[in-house]
Structure 1
């Protein structure tokens, strides 16, 4: 029987349970605390590191979890005053913010999120609820992932059953659709798009594919073995961006102080020119991610190619300028 996969919701629930018990064990040795909580020492250390960055607004020292391990290998923990002793109460503004953030994340397709949003809506003041609906509509923050549901269901099922996928995938840089056999490890929802993590047999390595570029996917009956110790959440946090297939060639030129910054930022890719400027070439997955950097460097940063990036930067600069003229 295949071991049940641990989800992010499971990990969050476990962390909250341990956070409630940890202060009562403050001052005891790390191995003893780990044993009493039913976790490994490594898991307990990771929990301590995470909790030390969590707390309540305005996130002053007294409003954060105070968790540390001393030189005698004893763990000390103190929760923010009153955090775990009273039910969570939200102001109308906090409820509105949560509702908008939840709607923006609704593409994650998690039943727990949908249930939580319904509970928030049921408890909110009708006037605030109307304001939330109007704001969501005006901001256009609803995710555009609904049309992918059948494809995502196919990929999720294949990942759960550890069966290979036959997939047709579009690569923009070549303008072609290629047939690939992929061993799907799982799906990751990142900002506003779904990403497929899996071993690409054509490339012979782990790849991250954009779901909106998959033209078709069919589960086979061929079973595959996952890499030992592979964890999707750990991959998302530590490895994902190293494996994204970047297909858009970008060339930038930097002058003045930005030239030195570019050489430090891309030491293996930057090329110093005779006039003191620096040129950098790389491949990107999303041109939108480069716009903010270019605007922040002002006239010392110039897009050489592609034309689409020039248009995006010009449009963003014009929009910013319009606020002041």
Structure 2
């Protein structure tokens, strides 16, 4: 709560929660002196919020009796959209290092009309997700980092990043931020890295400091931040370079194969799948599970892996069920 406006709102929140608070109490909770508390009370009064101040032993600050802020004016559809959005973000890990989803939900439900809050509470209690839950222990970026990069990306200002690589080395990077991407539970920044002279991808949780400069830049025409991040992650070095021609169309292939797994290109003969893999038996399983005819272009070892998997399936087909005895 470092910004003065945040402290003024914080004072209003405290006065709504407590019947009366002294200037010393408010100052201690807001991290300011009593003179500043008096100034905040004046600001609230200027906004039409009736804050009264009483002197003496039992004095202090309070809202005028009977005054309450009106309930948050959201329709049922709007309230459902906000609450479900917060729940989905929490499930996916779409957040920063500061845990704020639960607090935000509590604040929203507190100011909603009681009937609507109770109905939304019932939805929360009965809601289940088939989405893969967020990974516990995954590092989250600082809120200040995310906000600073968002502002610089929108204003097209170059930033200085203090960045830690996967090897642990720390370096200072001058980057033109082209876009922010949330992918597979992590936040990424993509942009032109002046140290490397090329477009690079950075994990936000490895950025310890951001400083926005005065130099501006232009984003290359037609640049796709999401596409660049998914391609760069799919291009991380692996043991095997794989190319397979799938006999299907591009729309069908995209429904079954996410961008993080492989790069898909439409050709006259079908869809060219390019990816990297550490284990070819896993690639054989995936290709067989797709259900489309395919031709392995490379490596030749993948043909052997597919053949071995076919033998395994044929062996499974010859097995006969044993007599099942129910208990």
Do Structure 1 and Structure 2 share a fold, with TM-score over 0.5?
A: no
TM-score bin, normalised by smaller chain: 0.3 to 0.5
| TM-score where L is the length of structure 1 | 0.40
- Which structure is larger by alpha-carbon Rg, 1 or 2? 2
